[in-house]
Amino acid sequence: MKALNDLGIIIGISLMYAAPLMYTALGGVISENAGVVNIGLEGMMTIGAFTGATVAYFTGNPWLGFLTAGLAGGALAILHAIACVTFTADHVVSGIAMNFIGPGLALYLCKIFFDGAAMTLPLDLDHKIPRPLNGLFPTDSFLNSIFNQYATVYIAFLLVILVWFMLYKTKLGLRLRSVGEHPRAADTLGVNVYKIKYFAVILSGIFAGLGGAALSIAVVSNYRVSLISGQGFIALAAMIFGNWKPHGAMWGCLLFGVAQGLVVYLGGTSLKVSSQLLAMIPYIITIIVLMVFVGEATGPAANGIPYEKDRD
């Protein structure tokens, strides 16, 4: 019975930590299917985490914090879109800039709003994202450990379905994927390539911002400088692992969520395992996944290639 409960705890923790990655990985899927590489998801996730925690703290409304976090991530993504789409800048260089701007701006604003502190004040339990199934299952039961999740977890799975439907079952999704595969052909057929790319990049930033807030106002109760620490890059690895598809990215995020769940679980047991060694596990798995799958994964044909309408 204890083994079953322990398994439930690991699964529950894995789902909780996978959800923020899923939001961000879906953002990467959308952006890169439209042909814009967005390694700046880390910075967008960071500004979202700060904004979500700050707004939730001052308003007492976690949902308002969650929504404004998405807007903050989208605002930073506009800069990336302007650089990559309008000025045809190198996508990787622009993404690196976003990863400097996001954390730097978050730290600067944090010191302004919280009297020089490098972290936001913690939220009360009542001001965190709620658990919709809380109390439905017996406490300490296997089912309660798995399904008594924050609402952001269920929203993440719902968004996987919605993004899949949008990409593969709607005219907008067809146009978005055509822009990522052959933008000149799409342009010839009357598709506004620039508008589609802007839409995809901004939406990716919104998703990344939501992913950051899913950490700062659900998994934990505040923003701090070390909160994101590579989560955006892990989400990118999950996207590659998932072959640039929403459902594939979901499985990749669940894999990394399991790694984090094992870290948390093993850290709370009597096993004498170095905490530094445990903290390395998700990143080691990221490197292994990239080594194994990056050569076999095939992204959109025009991904990362600047598009200029007037060029022959």
Domain membership of residue 41 (yes or no) is yes
Q: Number of folded domains in the chain?
A: 1
Domain membership of residue 275 (yes or no) is yes
Tokens of 183: 């933008």
Domain membership of residue 244 (yes or no) is yes
Domain membership of residue 129 (yes or no) is no
The closest alpha carbon to 50, from 130, 92, 112, belongs to: 112
Domain membership of residue 20 (yes or no) is yes
Domain membership of residue 146 (yes or no) is no
| Residue 34 near residue 182 (C-beta atoms within 8 A) | no
| Residue 164 near residue 246 (C-beta atoms within 8 A) | yes
Prediction pTM value: 0.94
Question: CB 122: neighbour CB atoms within 10 A?
Answer: 15
For CA atoms 236, 238, 239, 243, give the dihedral sign. Answer: positive
Tokens of 207: 């998703």
Gap between the Cα atoms of 293 and 97, Å rounded: 27
| Residue 25 near residue 254 (C-beta atoms within 8 A) | no
Domain membership of residue 303 (yes or no) is no
DSSP state of 137: S
CATH at residue 178: 1.10.3470
User: Tens-digit pLDDT profile for the chain (312 aa)?
Assistant: 677 888 888 999 999 999 999 999 999 999 999 999 999 999 999 999 999 999 999 999 999 999 999 999 999 999 999 999 999 999 999 999 999 999 999 999 999 999 999 999 999 988 899 999 998 888 888 899 999 999 999 999 999 999 999 999 999 999 999 999 999 999 999 999 999 999 999 999 999 999 999 999 999 999 999 999 889 999 999 999 899 999 999 999 999 898 888 888 777 666 666 777 777 877 888 788 777 766 666 789 999 998 887 654
Domain membership of residue 130 (yes or no) is no
The closest alpha carbon to 203, from 154, 151, 252, 163, belongs to: 163
Tokens of 171: 């005219």
Which domain, by its residues, includes 118? 2-123+151-293
The closest alpha carbon to 235, from 31, 42, 16, 15, belongs to: 42
| Residue 257 near residue 15 (C-beta atoms within 8 A) | yes
Length of the chain: 312
SS3 content of the chain, % helix, strand, coil (to 5): 70, 0, 30
> For the chain, what is the largest distance between any 2 Cα atoms, rounded to a whole number of angstroms?
68
Nearest-5° Cα angle at 235, 234 to 239: 115
